[in-house]
A and B are shown apart, each in its own frame.
Chain A
Amino acid sequence: MVGIVLVSHSRKIVEGIYELASQMTGGKVPIGVAGGTQDGRLGTDATEIMEEIKKVDDGEGVVVLVDIGSAVMSAQMAIELLGEEYEGKVKIADAPLVEGAIAASVEASIGSGFDKVLLVAEEAKKLNKL
């Protein structure tokens, strides 16, 4: 199954989204969370993101969802640090974090492949709310 990793400056944000997404997918999808620094400040940590990607990857690829600022740069750095072995198998979705995470998790839970999960996550930014 395609894995998902959620990245934010705030641990609470990713834990909250994890809860929402797990509830909708019955806990079937491997979802990793990376948020905050090791010493409990707001921030992102490329090495944590890298570890979470490794943790949720079962060979089918991992879609990474990020919020703002350093989340994007840290996630890009994490993917570089993973090296060739993961090339093309891990991508950052150009999508809003909450909506993208829910859409991607549900899509992964029905067994869709990497490209489809990524696409569905990115389509979440077109979602009209009103």
Chain B
Amino acid sequence: MVITKNDVLKVVDKIVEVIKENKEYLTELDAAIGDADHGINLDRGFDAVKQKLTTLPETTDIGTILKTLGMTLVSTVGGASGPLYGTAFMRAGQVVQGKNELYEEDIVKIFEAALDGIKQRGKAEAGDKTMIDSIEPAYKALKDSLENNIALPEALNRAANAAKEGMEYTKNISARKGRASYLGERSIGHLDPGATSAYLMIKSFSDVVNLS
């Protein structure tokens, strides 16, 4: 299956929309274990992304689109999720530089580069109660599914389900990275805001591909 540049732009639009719909929810989650700004941060960031992408020439390739997206988040989000998601999208852009179409192996590379970028930037691992807890299982599910010749839409659907499980798991563990780590054990019982926004983004990707 091929993912076109137009599909990528549709996914970005969907993420912008879903983040906006969940702005208050994400901010409430951050109010419980952080500083009550995650939804606001990301909404500002993705609003700026939407603006910025309209200024790119028609001929812009997918790699450049993703890198521009990342750079825009870095300079507009404000919170830790800015450099983290910024790095993720910039690294993802690097591995598909110059491409106008993506295939299964490119999608795996994108997830891998994004995950590695976040880990390098924030020095967190799975189990630290961060966005990694949804992204890493999603990446593994996607890779496994594709290796077992499952079609991309279903593989993405499985990735989104794995991200959801990972997100829900963050409720049971205590934070070891980021602002919530100041609360330690008292962060147990709350979903991690970043794991939730990461799930929403992966779900958006899956939804767009499954509907087209």
Docked pose: A16 CA to B84 CA in angstroms = 28
Residues of B with C-beta under 8 A to A37: 44, 76-78
Main DSSP-derived SS at the B contact region:
helix
From residue 33 to 68 of chain B, which have CB atoms closer than 8 A to chain A? 35, 37, 40-41, 44
Main DSSP-derived SS at the A contact region:
loop
From residue 36 to 68 of chain A, which have CB atoms closer than 8 A to chain B? 36-39, 41-48
Would A43 and B178 count as touching, CB distance under 8 A? no
**Number of chain A residues whose Cβ lies closer than 8 Å to a Cβ of chain B:** 19
Q: Does A27 contact B (CB under 8 A)?
A: no
Would A43 and B75 count as touching, CB distance under 8 A? no
Please report the number of residue pairs spanning A and B whose Cβ atoms sit closer than 8 angstroms: 64
Would B83 and A46 count as touching, CB distance under 8 A? yes
Say yes or no: A77-B40 contact (C-beta < 8 A), given A37-B78, A44-B78, A45-B75. Answer: no
Would B86 and A43 count as touching, CB distance under 8 A? no
What residue of chain A has the Cβ atom nearest to residue B34's Cβ?
A69
Would A77 and B44 count as touching, CB distance under 8 A? no
Q: Does B79 contact A (CB under 8 A)?
A: yes
How close is B114's CB to chain A, nearest CB, in angstroms? Answer: 15
- A residues sitting closer than 8 Å to B (CB atoms) are 9, 36-39, 41-48, 69-70, 73-74, 76-77
Given contacts A41-B44, A70-B80, 12 further A-B contacts (CB under 8 A): A37-B44, A42-B37, A43-B77, A43-B78, A45-B76, A48-B75, A69-B178, A70-B79, A73-B84, A73-B121, A73-B122, A77-B87
